[in-house]
A = this chain, B = another copy of it.
Amino acid sequence: KINGPRLWDALMAMAEIGATPKGGVKRLTLTEVDKAGRQRFTQWCEELGLTMRVDAMGNMFARREGRDPQRLPVLLGSHLDSQPTGGKFDGALGVIAGLEVMRSLHDLNITTEAPIELVNWTDEEGSRFGHSLMGSGVWAGIFGLEEAYGFTDLDGVNVSQALDSIGYKGPHPAAPFPADAYFELHIEQGPILEQEGKPIGIVTGAQAQVWYDAVITGQDAHAGTTPPSARRDALVAAARVIALVDEMMRARGEAGRGTVGQLQVLPNSRNVVPGEVRFSVEFRHPDDAELARLMAEFPQAAEAAVAGSGCRLEVTKLFDMPAQPFDPACVDLVRQAAARLGYPAREITSGAAHDAVYVARRVPTAMIFTPCKDGLSHNEAESILPEEAEAGCQVLFEAVVARANR
């Protein structure tokens, strides 16, 4: 029912905005490139006669009216921001497939019972301001608006300034409004569907995770004159914590996740013993109890790891989120849609967080996964096939329309 080639064309058109030489995308949240993506999205929505609202976090809602003015809207969407060296599909697939759902409804002259709203959430990736799912998090009341406005990037620019600079601090409150359901299509970003040859993942929930900031303070000193006994080398101390995070992950077997993804050395000069290192730490696990153990263990184990280095360690928890199960009725609509369309499908837990995780605390929610090549994501080589995008979009269409017409 949906138009596969049109969907693919729109995906490729969006991928031009922030395209990188290696075939990926750099569309960091609240930058000029993000603004360009938002403007193209707005134009496409307005061509369909949808009404665009922007809230105080820059979240964008494109509304298509239903027949029954009493009915709550069915939401669908994802995010248009990317990693610094991201792929074409992480996030964009969910938004552009949502657009294709709207276009198909338009082509087919379908008026659903409930209104439908297509959402582009602000800053899902979290790579710029240190909080993933930021826009959906404020919308769902996980962070306060003023708190989120104060999050800063590595250059000291805060979210409020960044929203103003691209003109996307909208007039609508960034707060949950009543909605009937939320559906999000996303690439799996892992290898399971591809390995099992299943075009559709019926996502039953997402795993738990915690993010930290760590700062190790030693002392800048001359690399040539400072003897081993007098060194307080913050990078040598940080190396022990990096090894610890990896060990703590591996101690949990294949289900464990532990990553230091961002790290900054000061003063970062070849012949200076580093006086300060700032870095991120995150852990994830499908089981809340295991994440709780990781959280109990990490600060103390990190303290023990740097002991004797002469350096001081400061660990700040940025946030943690428990494992989030999705709404059984919504999940069932996905399962039924895949079955009706004859797509092989399997239930799956998400290793990544998604806006759906926070939205699920307010609105009955489900997600659909499609495979990606070699399970690779957060990588410019991220790749999917047109028929995989089409299958995912078709399931999304069916689930959304079924819910809106129930």
Contact = CB atoms under 8 A, between A and B. Distances in A.
A225 interface: yes
B269 A127 contact: yes
A268 interface: yes
Interface stretch (A60-68, A100-108, A292-300, A371-379): A371-379
A272 B228 contact: no
Contacts of A222: 189-190, 351-352, 377-379
B257 A261 contact: no
B85 A220 contact: yes
Contact of A257 (B223, B238, B239, B254): B223
A126 interface: yes
A28 B262 CA distance: 26
Interface in A249-289: 249-250, 253-257, 259-275, 280, 282, 284
B224 A189 contact: yes
A192 B245 CA distance: 39
A256 to B, nearest CB: 6
A280 B377 CA distance: 29
A115 interface: no
Contact of A378 (B221, B243, B260, B263): B221
Contact of A265 (B209, B263, B352): B263
A211 interface: yes
Counting chain A residues whose Cβ lies within 8 A of the other chain, the interface size class is 35 or more
A311 B400 CA distance: 44
A102 B228 CA distance: 40
A268 B263 contact: yes
A223 B255 CA distance: 12
A280 B272 CA distance: 11
A243 B246 contact: no
A262 B254 contact: no
Given A126-B270, A240-B243, A268-B261, A189 B377 contact: no
A262 B242 CA distance: 17
A398 interface: no
26 contacts: A83-B267, A85-B266, A85-B272, A85-B275, A127-B271, A190-B225, A190-B226, A219-B376, A221-B376, A223-B257, A226-B257, A228-B256, A230-B375, A233-B259, A235-B242, A235-B260, A235-B261, A239-B243, A239-B246, A243-B243, A259-B271, A261-B268, A261-B272, A261-B273, A271-B282, A271-B352
